[in-house]
């Protein structure tokens, strides 16, 4: 099913979730490698452009994901969660959702304020205009730091999210991870 059910995730949610997840992990690795100071400059230029292209892709998918999240039913939490667990799970999910928008936006701000003025040509095909921000060394430094902090912060949340998913799946055996793979909670 495309749409979410009372207890199940539809494949719309599942595909968006995993595409964004894979892209984000790739982008964190790419972002970490491309800022190494001893990297070949030609490779570095190329990695930055890939990072921008995939980052814009994440932003587009995340906007769709947020609309999807707002317009779709939210499947019920698995049984046996304490109120604190339920609240913190929701908080992490909401934060992750917000970060998938905020991190690429901050990255877009880096490209827009950079005194290098390098255009964003997504996959060498689609020209994405700069945000209406004034380029300056200070603004570029600010957004670079913000982007990195937000990205690594999101990385931390992703780890938390994964640990929780594995805990539910393999310790509590309540099918939380299965639900995001097969849609249903799956009886074990």
Of 67, 86, 119, 136, the one binding other proteins by CB under 8 A:
119
What minimum distance in Å lies between the beta carbon of 139 and other proteins?
Answer: 15
Beta strands in 64-148 (DSSP E): 120-122, 126-128
Is position 38 an interface residue for other proteins (rule: CB under 8 A)? no
Q: Is 132 in the site for other proteins (CB under 8 A)?
A: no
Residue closer to other proteins, measured from CB, 97 or 122 = 122
Q: At its nearest, how many Å lie between other proteins and the CB of residue 42? A: 4
**Is there binding between residue 118 and other proteins (CB under 8 A)?**
yes
CB of 138 to other proteins, least distance (A): 15
Among residues 21, 34, 95, 121, the one that binds other proteins under rule CB under 8 A:
121
Which of 6, 37, 38, 41 forms a contact with other proteins (CB under 8 A)? 41
Scored b (16 or more CB within 10 A) or e, 98-119 reads: ebbebbbbbbbbbbbbbeeeee
Please tell me the distance from the alpha carbon of residue 53 to that of residue 178, in angstroms, as a whole number: 31
Q: Are 109 and 132 in contact (CB under 8 A)?
A: no
Compute φ and ψ for 32, nearest 5 degrees: -70, -45
Interatomic CA distance for residues 101 and 50, integer angstroms: 18
Chain positions contacting other proteins, by CB under 8 A: 40-42, 45-46, 49, 115-119, 121, 124, 127, 129
């Amino acid at each position: 099913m495309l749409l979410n059910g009372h207890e199940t995730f539809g494949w719309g949610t599942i595909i968006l979730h995993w595409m964004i997840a894979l892209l984000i992990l790739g982008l964190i690795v790419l972002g970490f490698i491309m800022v190494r100071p001893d990297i070949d400059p030609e490779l570095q230029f190329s990695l930055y452009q890939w990072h921008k292209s995939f980052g814009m892709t994440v932003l587009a998918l995340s906007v769709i994901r947020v609309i999807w999240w707002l317009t779709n039913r939210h499947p019920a939490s698995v049984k046996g969660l304490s109120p604190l667990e339920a609240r913190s799970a929701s908080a992490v999910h909401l934060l992750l959702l917000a970060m998938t928008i905020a991190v690429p936006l901050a990255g877009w701000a880096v490209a827009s304020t950079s005194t290098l003025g390098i255009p964003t040509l997504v996959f060498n095909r689609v020209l994405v205009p700069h945000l209406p921000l004034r380029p300056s060394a200070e603004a570029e430094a600010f957004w670079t730091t913000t982007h990195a902090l937000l990205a690594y912060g999101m990385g931390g949340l992703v780890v938390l999210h994964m640990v929780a998913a594995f805990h539910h799946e393999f310790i509590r055996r309540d099918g939380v991870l299965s639900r995001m793979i097969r849609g249903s909670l799956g009886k074990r």
